[in-house]
């Protein structure tokens, strides 16, 4: 008889749990005699066409009970340690802790901190829980650290914020891409092929980054400005465009307002001045302006480099002004876009976990928005609290104005600026509860830790960097003792007197989200689970027109009009200003931070995957040979980076690919290598984004005393 082969487990089409590409993948559940979930290529999904980075390929490793939480933990009054507990006890402890604070100090003494990795359903429910059940205004999320500056600039220029106003497939078809402060080769590796195809098609790539990254190596032109000077660089390019007569006067007249003021502001930044500010030579500035304008179509794509600054909103506005002045917006294959970072960074802020927003990207202080959402929620509009503190301001208020905190899907002990101070604030709370997949550094401080299901164990939607609403599907069962975030919020709501309105079924939540978003800027009302599955995602806005007409979704925004009341884009006049903290005699070097390819965000998950740790085992300090020589440091020597806020240590990585006045550290690790102990929480006045990307530091051998590197 022929040997019988057991049938393979079926494939489940889903998406990667990490970055905002939300790459498509198939999962095969454990078959007979197997223990692990397998990742199988999904070449039909257009964003990645089957390609995955190492993080995506190894994502199932986090499903193992060996590396994740599988039962609630509560802090013992007797021992002070976190010890296993049942769900009833854990949820009651959380409810009691939040109630006790609210009774003693008022509703706004209770805070909620969410995450850009939560699904749309979770983000929506978390915002509703904070405002309806807790009645608090004190809710924000770690997406405030991601792209809030770009979002603010989008809003004031275009009247609408969506990371990319066009699909990724348009990028290889344009003539020139200016990539500002993004290292796609390490942050979103599958996206690098779009830039490769761009050049194969005859297009040009300009990369602007103080480091010569793997992405910059692919560029036709690499500009390496001094950290914190991106705004001056953009103004200088606009000056050249005007001076050389390369503006699109017809587009400006027909589709924009405010040009004269923006033009006047830019004309103060002549090339030689910009060279002095940025360190980028005049010939390179002229070459960049020519490449951008000579192409028949062009795009500017920004990421955290220019955005995570205390002037990030104005910096993005300067790049938008360049696009508008040259007619490179609101036209096919041209435009400005922001490369969202976190997995659901786009959807996570659209539906209510941001301090000033309600579902559908409605403003919390808009009476009509409050009335619409309140009706969906079955509450009085006046019962909804107003806008609260932004993320860092919320964390800074812990232990004083905010006495108890519920954290879902975030690890601010590692990810927040001035992290040692944030850790101290978390420790000072009267009560802290954390819901997470793993025992993160933040969860380790909690009074109660609630283990939650993760991407492959639950169904839910995310919205990727294109504005494409996607469906992650449940492929495997969660371990016994683990509950979903929706179940947890529903259980807490019931204990706090709201037995209805918080279902655990994600599709039921999404149906309510559709109603809440209807008519808003981010209108999801025409999107359903079934439709997402049929179409490989649906681009918002997608209103529900009628029973007979299906809205096609909106892959490309602004082709006919911008989302402003008059349909015109707005120029915003901006001027350069220095970083909040410039080098001086005591702190003569600039620090910038970023990611590496094999780790993700705070590393809470990726640091538990052996293959990824082997590739990126720990932090490092990247510095130029001239700086290393002044330190008398060799490759691998322990280097301390010291600011006014703290100290971080890592082995030296010496390279000519960084400016001599700058050092770089990745931000994925806790302990002595936690670079966010050093970073500056100075906030952008509009977006409230902290200035992660630039601060003044002193660099010294870790075995040397203070002052090992003097100015000069």
Write out the H or E segment, with its range, that includes residue 529: helix 529-535
What residue segments make up the domains of the chain, in order of their start? 11-63, 73-145+348-508, 153-338, 589-701
Cis ω for the linkage preceding 273 (within 30 of 0):
no
Region 589-701: CATH code: 2.40.40.20
Region 11-63: CATH code: 2.20.25.90
8 A C-beta contact, residue 518 and residue 471: no
8 A C-beta contact, residue 209 and residue 227: no
Cα(132)–Cα(385) distance, integer angstroms? 9
Return the residue matching tokens 């007619």: 327
8 A C-beta contact, residue 394 and residue 111: yes
- DSSP classification of residue 57: H
Alpha-carbon dihedral sign for residues 49, 51, 53, 54:
positive
For residue 129, what are the contacts with CB-CB under 8 A and spacing of at least 6? Answer: 112, 489, 492, 493, 502
Domain covering 153-338: architecture? 3-Layer(aba) Sandwich (3.40)
Domain covering 73-145+348-508: architecture? 3-Layer(aba) Sandwich (3.40)
Residue 709 confidence (pLDDT): 42
CA angle 347, 309, 185 (to 5 degrees): 65
Residue 704 confidence (pLDDT): 63
Cα(516)–Cα(502) distance, integer angstroms? 14
Residue 708 confidence (pLDDT): 43
Cα(597)–Cα(95) distance, integer angstroms? 40
Return the residue matching tokens 């992405």: 215
Cα(399)–Cα(396) distance, integer angstroms? 9
CA angle 51, 54, 57 (to 5 degrees): 70
Angle between helices 120-128 and 506-517 (to 10 degrees): 70
Blockwise average pLDDT, block size 10, the chain, 712 residues:
56 95 93 77 95 95 93 96 98 98 98 96 98 98 92 96 96 98 95 97 98 97 98 98 98 98 98 98 98 98 95 98 97 95 88 94 96 98 97 98 97 97 98 97 98 96 97 94 97 97 98 97 96 94 82 96 98 98 97 96 94 96 98 97 98 97 97 97 96 97 60 30
Distances (CA, A) of 425 to 413, 431, 447, 486: 10, 12, 14, 27
Domain 153-338 shares a fold with domain 589-701: no
């Amino acid at each position: 008889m022929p040997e019988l082969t057991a049938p393979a487990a079926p494939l489940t089409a889903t998406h990667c749990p990490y970055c905002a590409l939300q790459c498509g993948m198939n999962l095969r559940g454990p078959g007979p005699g197997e223990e692990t979930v397998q990742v199988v290529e999904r070449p039909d999904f257009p964003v990645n066409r089957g390609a995955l980075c190492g993080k995506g390929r190894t994502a199932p490793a986090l499903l193992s009970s060996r590396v994740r939480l599988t039962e609630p933990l509560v802090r013992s009054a007797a021992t002070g340690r976190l010890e296993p507990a049942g769900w009833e006890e854990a949820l009651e402890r959380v409810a009691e802790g939040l109630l006790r604070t609210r009774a003693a100090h008022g509703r706004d003494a209770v805070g909620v901190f969410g995450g850009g990795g939560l699904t749309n359903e979770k983000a929506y429910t978390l915002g509703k829980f904070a405002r309806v059940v807790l009645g608090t205004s004190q809710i924000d999320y770690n997406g405030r650290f991601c792209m809030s500056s770009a979002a603010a600039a989008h809003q004031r220029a275009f009247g609408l914020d969506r990371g990319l106003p066009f699909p990724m497939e348009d990028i290889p078809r344009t003539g020139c891409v200016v990539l500002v402060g993004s290292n796609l080769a390490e942050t979103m590796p599958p996206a690098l092929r779009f830039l490769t195809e761009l050049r194969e098609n005859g297009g040009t790539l300009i990369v602007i980054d103080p480091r010569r990254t793997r992405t910059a190596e692919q560029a036709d032109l690499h500009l390496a400005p001094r950290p914190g000077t991106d705004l001056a660089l953009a103004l200088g390019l606009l000056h050249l465009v005007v001076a050389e007569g390369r503006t699109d006067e017809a587009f400006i007249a027909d589709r924009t307002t405010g040009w004269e003021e923006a033009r006047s502001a830019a004309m103060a930044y002549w090339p030689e001045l910009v060279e002095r500010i940025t360190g980028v030579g005049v010939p390179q500035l002229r070459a960049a302006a020519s490449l951008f304008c000579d192409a028949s179509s062009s795009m500017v794509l920004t990421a955290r480099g220019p955005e995570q600054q205390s002037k990030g909103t104005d910096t993005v506005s300067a790049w938008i002004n360049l696009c508008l002045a040259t007619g490179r917006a609101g036209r096919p294959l041209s435009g400005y876009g922001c490369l969202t970072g976190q997995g659901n960074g786009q959807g996570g802020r659209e539906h209510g976990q941001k301090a000033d927003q309600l579902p559908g990207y409605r403003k919390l202080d808009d009476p009509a928005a409050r009335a619409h959402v309140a009706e969906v929620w079955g509450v009085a509009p006046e019962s909804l609290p107003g806008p609260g503190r932004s993320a860092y301001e919320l964390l800074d208020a812990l232990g004083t104005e905010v006495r108890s905190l519920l954290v879902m899907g975030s690890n601010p002990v590692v990810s927040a600026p001035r992290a040692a101070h944030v850790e101290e604030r978390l420790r000072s709370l009267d009560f802290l509860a954390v819901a997470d997949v793993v025992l993160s550094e933040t969860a380790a401080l909690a009074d109660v830790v609630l283990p939650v299901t993760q991407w492959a164990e639950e169904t839910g939607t995310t919205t990727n960097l294109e504005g494409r609403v996607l469906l992650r599907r449940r492929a495997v069962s969660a371990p016994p003792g683990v509950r979903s975030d929706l179940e947890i919020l529903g259980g807490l709501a019931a204990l706090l007197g709201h037995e209805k309105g918080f279902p655990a079924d994600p599709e039921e939540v999404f149906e309510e989200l559709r109603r809440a978003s209807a008519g808003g800027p981010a209108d999801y009302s025409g999107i359903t689970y079934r439709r997402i599955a049929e179409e490989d995602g649906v681009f918002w806005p997608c209103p529900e027109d009628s029973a007979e007409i299906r809205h096609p979704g909106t892959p490309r925004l602004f082709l006919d009009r911008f989302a402003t009341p008059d349909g015109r884009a707005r120029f915003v006049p901006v001027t350069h200003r220095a970083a909040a903290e410039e080098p001086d005699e005591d702190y003569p070097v600039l620090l910038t931070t970023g990611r590496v390819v094999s780790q993700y965000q705070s590393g809470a998950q990726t640091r538990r995957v052996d293959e990824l740790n082997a590739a990126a085992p720990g932090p490092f300090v990247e510095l130029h040979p001239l700086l290393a020589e002044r330190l008398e440091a060799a490759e691998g020597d322990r280097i301390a980076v010291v600011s006014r806020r703290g100290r971080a240590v890592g082995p030296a990585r010496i390279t000519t690919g960084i400016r001599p006045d700058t050092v770089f550290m990745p931000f994925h690790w806790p302990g002595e290598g936690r670079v966010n102990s050093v970073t500056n929480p100075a906030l952008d006045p509009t977006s409230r984004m902290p200035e992660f990307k630039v601060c003044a530091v002193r660099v010294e051998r870790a075995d040397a005393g203070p002052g090992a590197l003097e100015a000069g």
